[in-house]
Amino acid sequence: MKKVFFLLVFFVLIVQFSPLFGEFNFPPNPVNYFEQPFDVVKYDFHITFDNPVDKYIEGICQITFISKSLSPEQRFYFHLWGPEIDSVFLNSERVELYEAGDVESGTACYFINYVPTEVNERFVAKIYYQGNMISEGGNMDFGGVHYDDEILYSMGVGFNNNFVSTTRAWLPCFDHPSDKAEVVARFDVPAKYTVASVGTFSSKSETDNGRTEYTYKSFDDIATYLMTFAVGEFDTVSFHHSNKNLPMTIYAKANQIEAVRYAFETLPEILDAYESYFGEYPFDKLDYVLTPKGSMEHQTLVNIASSVVMSAYNTQNKYNSTIIHELAHMWFGNSVTPLDFRDAWLNESFASFCEAFIYEKIFDKARYIKHLREQGITYFNYGIPREGAQAIYDFDRAKAGNYPITIYYKGSNVLSILRYLVGDEKFLGALNHYLGKYAYGNVNTEQFIRTFEEFTQADMTEFFDKWVYGAGYIELQVDVTSIKDRGDGTYEANVTLRQIQTSQGLPIIETPIEFSYSQFDMTPINKIIMLDANEQDIQFTSDEHAFPSISSYRVNYGNDFVVPARIARYTSVESPEIARPYEINDSQFTFEITSDSYSGGIALITDLNGRIIEGVIFDNKCVSIDKNIFANGLYFVIINLNNHIYIEKFIK
């Protein structure tokens, strides 16, 4: 293999001062798209796996590309990671192979030179290669090729590698999402194996030497990171749609078939729900394959983790959120594909939001909100401690990896706000406008925003600047500054909201947020507030004098949307004096009922965010709560005596 002997700095000097090299294109960057002077139009490859357990491959990959520039000499770049290249031919003539880019930036690749004589001139690069296929390794060994549980399979992206796309682990290709192409794939395997892959199944031919060749064809252009294969001794389960001839096949091992039949029984119904939102399914088939690692939305063949399917079966869940999530990608990511991986939120935020959106379609709005809220809890409990405050566009990969929780669950919550702000009709219309405009093509965040605003006729600059390009989330300090008796049996609390987050610029404005609080009978009241300043005053009213307690205030417990926000601090003035029918010994938190009108009741202990930690039912005059069982912090006790609510607090 001939290697380039000059360093990148020297290369830049040549580019600046040499007329010959001045037109050379630079190696592709996974997180910095720039247009190349060529366009790959087709991959046609033949791969042989003599013994899948060895992860050894022999292959011939023919890449057809066209020139988009009449520059005197250009470079066609491609990637291969693991197997070695034997030789490369361009238009049937053997050519020299060079290396370019560097490993640290994720731009390491190969190139061959070509000289176009006309625009749209067609070139065919034929690459012979062989060797052991590898995976990214590390603590989250996801991307690349794996042999687990007697299955050989690939995963198209990695979580921690610096080049993201890992189809290069088994196929020489221009491994960048911006260049989608047609695919003809041929896999030669021992006869006992079945091969599943992307595209439409074309043929299966058996040879005299105990081998079988499977052929798949994808006439819809596909990004390389969405290509995959799985080789195993599979059984299959087929599902049928009543209104269309769409093949839906699930590949699994024999001992998983019962679980598959249960978990995927509702797949046609879920597909109907998607089509009611986003129009006809964009491809010619919809297959899933159970693999030990997963899940990943390869185009027309989804790798679904075996554990996901078994969990759905064991918990009797016919509407598993991961199965729903990966199907969303057929529209968001596979039909409309990001130009580079800075825009991965256009895939993951939308697919995560669609989990809740489909639950609403199949069940109701309450299920939609519940799922969004669970995503928000995961974001705060797991995403923030691990990743810190990140933007959902162009996040810090060194800290957050390639696919942080931020772009899944913060992004999903952000889309729920966007839906509320523009309304259902415009929201769904704008998404369909976007999907139609860029169908089977590529897009970046700026184009999405422009297309969304084009349809809704709304200026969303402030919203996208804060929630998409900006890092972090909202932290609120809630200060109850005054409480007064209105004289009509109701009480009014004046509350100051302050944004105190330190992870980003203050404040996040033009954002609605839902506050909930409960009256004495615990009936929730929801109030939507538009955050339009760093500090603002609002008023709440209730039939109960003690309602301003943190035990009754909640963020994101309304009925319309969920914001990436939480109450970080709470202060309050004392409620209006009212005689308590009990006395408290704070050291042990023992309270004794002093009025003969009450004989028993219930006490609920909540934390600072209003979550119920424990409940105590008492039927005598004196009750003690063991403070030693609680972690250090501030707690509230809601005491219900004959439907009269009293609220106390204690510090552990």
Architecture in CATH for domain 234-330: Orthogonal Bundle (1.10)
- Indicate the range of 71-75, 126-130, 155-159, 648-652 predicted with least confidence: 648-652
Q: Are 623 and 591 in contact (CB under 8 A)?
A: yes
Residue recorded with tokens 């290249």:
85
Q: Which fold has domain 23-232?
A: Immunoglobulin-like (2.60.40)
Q: Which fold has domain 474-572?
A: Immunoglobulin-like (2.60.40)
pLDDT score at 339 = 97
Q: Are 561 and 514 in contact (CB under 8 A)?
A: yes
Mean pLDDT confidence for 391-406: 95
List the domain boundaries for the chain: 23-232, 234-330, 341-468, 474-572, 582-651
Helices 267-278 and 321-328, interaxial angle, to 10°?
Answer: 40
Distances (CA, A) of 594 to 261, 602, 627, 628, 637: 62, 16, 22, 26, 18
Over residues 483-521, the pLDDT tens digits come to 888 888 788 888 899 998 876 666 888 899 998 876 555
Distances (CA, A) of 286 to 54, 219, 239, 326, 515: 29, 15, 10, 11, 42
Over residues 258-276, the pLDDT tens digits come to 999 999 999 999 999 999 9
Q: What number of residues does the chain have?
A: 652
pLDDT score at 505 = 63
Residues paired with residue 634 on neighbouring β-strands, in sequence order: 651
Name the pLDDT band for 546 (thresholds 50, 70, 90): low
Q: Which two tokens stand for residue 413?
A: 């919550």
pTM of the shown model: 0.87
Q: Which two tokens stand for residue 341?
A: 């991986």
Could you tell me which CATH class the domain 341-468 is placed in?
Answer: mainly alpha
In the predicted structure, residue 558 carries a pLDDT above the cut 90:
no
What letter represents residue 445's amino acid?
Answer: T
Cα distance between residue 603 and residue 592, in whole Å: 13
Helices 345-362 and 365-378, interaxial angle, to 10°?
Answer: 140
Q: Which of 167, 21, 162 is nearest to 98 (CA)?
A: 21
> Which helix (H) or strand (E) segment is 181 a member of?
strand 181-190
In the predicted structure, residue 457 carries a pLDDT above the cut 90:
yes
pLDDT > 90 in the chain, percent: 68
Over residues 585-599, the pLDDT tens digits come to 666 666 676 666 666
Characterize the bridge pairing of strands 211-222 and 229-232.
unpaired
Over residues 159-197, the pLDDT tens digits come to 999 999 999 999 999 999 999 999 999 999 999 999 999
Distances (CA, A) of 502 to 123, 564, 622: 54, 15, 45
Domains 474-572 and 582-651 share a fold: yes
Name the pLDDT band for 7 (thresholds 50, 70, 90): very low
Q: What is the 3-state secondary structure (H, E, C) of 63-109?
A: EEEEECCCCCCEEEEEECCCCEEEEEEECCEECCCEEECCCCCCCCE
Q: Which of 377, 419, 411 is nearest to 393 (CA)?
A: 411
At 549 the three-state DSSP class reads coil
pLDDT score at 19 = 33
The number of C-alpha atoms within 13 Å of 251 and in the hemisphere containing its C-beta is 25
Q: What is the 3-state secondary structure (H, E, C) of 97-135?
A: CEEECCCCCCCCEEEEEECCCCCCCEEEEEEEEEEECCE
Over residues 496-506, the pLDDT tens digits come to 999 988 766 66
Residues paired with residue 515 on neighbouring β-strands, in sequence order: 527, 555
What letter represents residue 24's amino acid?
Answer: F
Mean pLDDT confidence for 621-640: 72
Distances (CA, A) of 91 to 41, 62, 122, 123: 15, 10, 9, 6
Q: Going by CATH, does the domain composed of 582-651 fall within 2.40.50?
A: no
